[in-house]
């Protein structure tokens, strides 16, 4: 099956499960714990969608180009913020010998990342939760494919925590206040490289 078709089916799957969970939550709205369990599973995917960062995976070519653009060295630590199914951080660990950490908000997408991690036998660590809860000061490189308010929040956090010289690689979207160090591209999409001052 063509890779982009597989990615499209993955996106459809996540949206369909999210919609089904919300419908079920409404149906069981008087059931107490069941209602809350369904809301907790569905809400993060919905929030990511509303605030400008729904699950849309980078193409494998773009993921590869992002890892190349980061200039990674073995032993470095990389974070993938909003790691989706983990493809970028898994590639970085496999191809560059770095220590990889992915952070993913949506439990549904987190499960996809764990399945991909098992299939790839990757040593990258995938954490479930909001990136705001995680300390990013140990990162040598940070990957993201986020937009809107989510990207602005990440910029403020990185500005505070990231060490000087660390690289930040953003697929497509510009950080609101930072100046890019350089831009390359893949399949018509810009890959923006920032160096923390």
Ligand X SMILES: C[S@@+](CC[C@H](N)C(=O)[O-])C[C@H]1O[C@@H](n2cnc3c(N)ncnc32)[C@H](O)[C@@H]1O
Applying CB under 6 A, which residues contact ligand X? 48, 53, 55-58, 80, 82-84, 87-88, 103-106, 109, 130-131, 145-146, 150, 171
Q: Which is nearer to ligand X, 80 or 140 (CB)?
A: 80
Integer Cα distance of 191 and 182 in angstroms = 9
Nearer to ligand X, 57 or 117 (CB): 57
Please, what is the minimum distance in Å from the beta carbon of residue 40 to ligand X?
Answer: 14
Q: Which is nearer to ligand X, 7 or 76 (CB)?
A: 7
Smaller CB separation from ligand X, 34 or 56: 56
DSSP per residue, the chain: --HHHHHHHHHHHHHHHHHHHHHHHHHTTTSTHHHHHHHHHHHHHHHHHHTT----PPPHHHHHHHHHHTT--TT-EEEEET-TTSHHHHHHHHHH--EEEEEES-HHHHHHHHHHHHHHT---EEEES-GGGS--TT-SEEEE---HHHHHHHHHHHHHHPPTT-EEEEESPPPSSPPPSEEEEETTEEEEEEE--
- Tokens at residue 177, please? 């206040």
User: Shortest Cβ distance from residue 26 to ligand X (Å)?
Assistant: 22
Q: Compute the least distance from the CB of residue 56 to ligand X, in Å.
A: 4
To the nearest whole angstrom, how small is the minimum distance from the Cβ of residue 87 to ligand X? Answer: 5
* Residues in CB range of 10: below 8 A, 6 or more apart: 55, 57, 85, 112
Residue 61 or 197 with smaller CB distance to ligand X: 61
Which residue is closest to ligand X by CB?
82
Q: State the nearest-atom distance from the C-beta of 32 to ligand X, in Å.
A: 27
Of the two residues 83 and 93, which places its CB atom closer to ligand X in the complex? 83
**Minimum separation from the CB atom of position 68 to ligand X (A):** 14
């Amino acid at each position: 099956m063509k890779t982009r078709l597989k990615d499209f089916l993955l996106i459809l799957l996540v949206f369909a499960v999210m919609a089904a969970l919300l419908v079920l939550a409404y149906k069981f709205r008087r059931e107490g714990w069941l209602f809350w369990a369904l809301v907790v599973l569905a809400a993060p995917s919905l929030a990511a969608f509303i605030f400008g960062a729904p699950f849309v995976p980078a193409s494998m070519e773009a993921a590869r180009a992002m890892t190349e653009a980061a200039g990674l060295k073995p032993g470095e630590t990389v974070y993938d913020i909003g790691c989706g199914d983990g493809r970028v951080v898994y590639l970085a660990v496999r191809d560059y010998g770095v220590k990889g950490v992915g952070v993913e908000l949506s439990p549904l997408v987190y499960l996809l990342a764990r399945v991909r991690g098992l299939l790839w036998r990757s040593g990258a660590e995938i954490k479930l939760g909001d990136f705001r809860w995680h300390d990013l000061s140990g990162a040598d490189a940070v990957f993201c494919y986020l937009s809107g308010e989510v990207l602005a929040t990440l910029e403020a956090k990185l500005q505070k925590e990231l060490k000087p010289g660390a690289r930040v690689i953003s697929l497509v979207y510009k950080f609101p206040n930072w100046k890019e160090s350089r831009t390359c591209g893949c399949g018509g999409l810009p890959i923006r490289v920032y160096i923390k001052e």
